[in-house]
Amino acid sequence: MTDSISTGLTRRALLGAFAASAVTAAPTFSNAAGFLRGSGDIRRIRMYSGRTGERIDMIYWVEGKYIKDAVNEVNYFMRDWRTDGVKTMDLRTIDIMAAAHNMMDINEPYMLLSGYRSPQTNAMLRSRSRGVAKNSLHMKGQAADLRLNSRSTGQMAKAAAACRAGGVGRYSGSNFVHMDCGPVRTWGG
């Protein structure tokens, strides 16, 4: 038996993809605190980008283990679309996003406004807005700005804050919520 298939996929990648698709029908958990403690069997992230037109619906964690190929796809999806720069996203941020989404009990994917930001992009955005931090956690791959049509910023912020795992900023005027894996704190209105 060979280790690769004619499409260039390795046997291991194919088995990982099969494992991820096989658990799609598994139940999800609505308790974010338990989800972050690892009591769930799967972790899934659903997002789309209005900037690039890309979509992702990815199971990235199964039974206590992150799926490397899935995490790599999430990293690429959350890249700085202005520079095409990719950074390894802090998995704690992805977990917070997934847990908050799960707690809201919705199927609508997040709209990703900003994931990783290169220093150049952060400086450009900072020159246009007082709300952009000089040492933003976006530049470390530790933050995401997200929007949902079916939930208010208040509902999103409440779900993310319930995780008690990082920072949650509510930007009601711009209709998005910032989630990060930094110190536990909240701001905005």
Residues 94-106, mean pLDDT to the nearest whole number: 95
In tens, the pLDDT along 44-80 reads: 999 999 899 999 999 999 989 999 999 999 999 999 9
Residues 97-116, mean pLDDT to the nearest whole number: 96
Q: Is residue 102's pLDDT more than 90?
A: yes
In this predicted model, which residue has the larger pLDDT, 1 or 125? 125
In tens, the pLDDT along 142-185 reads: 999 999 999 999 999 999 999 999 999 999 999 999 999 999 99
Residues 32-42, mean pLDDT to the nearest whole number: 56
Q: In this prediction, what percent of the chain has a pLDDT beyond 90?
A: 70
Give the Cα separation of 121 and 80 in Å (integer). 8
**CB-count exposure of residue 145 (10 Å: 0-12, 13-18, 19+):** buried
Question: What number of other Cβ atoms are within 10 A of residue 140's Cβ?
Answer: 18
Q: Please give the helix or strand (H or E) that residue 79 lies within, else none.
A: none
Give the model's pLDDT for residue 129: 84
Give the model's pLDDT for residue 32: 47
The pLDDT-based confidence of 133 (bands split at 50, 70, 90) is confident
Spatial contact of 118 and 138, defined as CB atoms under 8 Å apart: no
Q: Is residue 20's pLDDT more than 50?
A: no
Task: State the amino acid at position 79 in one-letter form.
Answer: R
The pLDDT-based confidence of 15 (bands split at 50, 70, 90) is very low
- For the beta sheet containing 55-62, the strands, ordered from the edge strand earlier in sequence to the opposite edge, are 65-66, 55-62, 42-48, 110-114, 143-147, 176-180, 167-171, 185-188
Give the model's pLDDT for residue 71: 97
pTM (predicted TM-score): 0.79
| Residue 100, token pair as written in the block | 């908050």
Q: Is domain 11-188 in CATH 3.30.1380.10, yes or no? A: yes
Q: Is residue 109's pLDDT more than 70?
A: yes
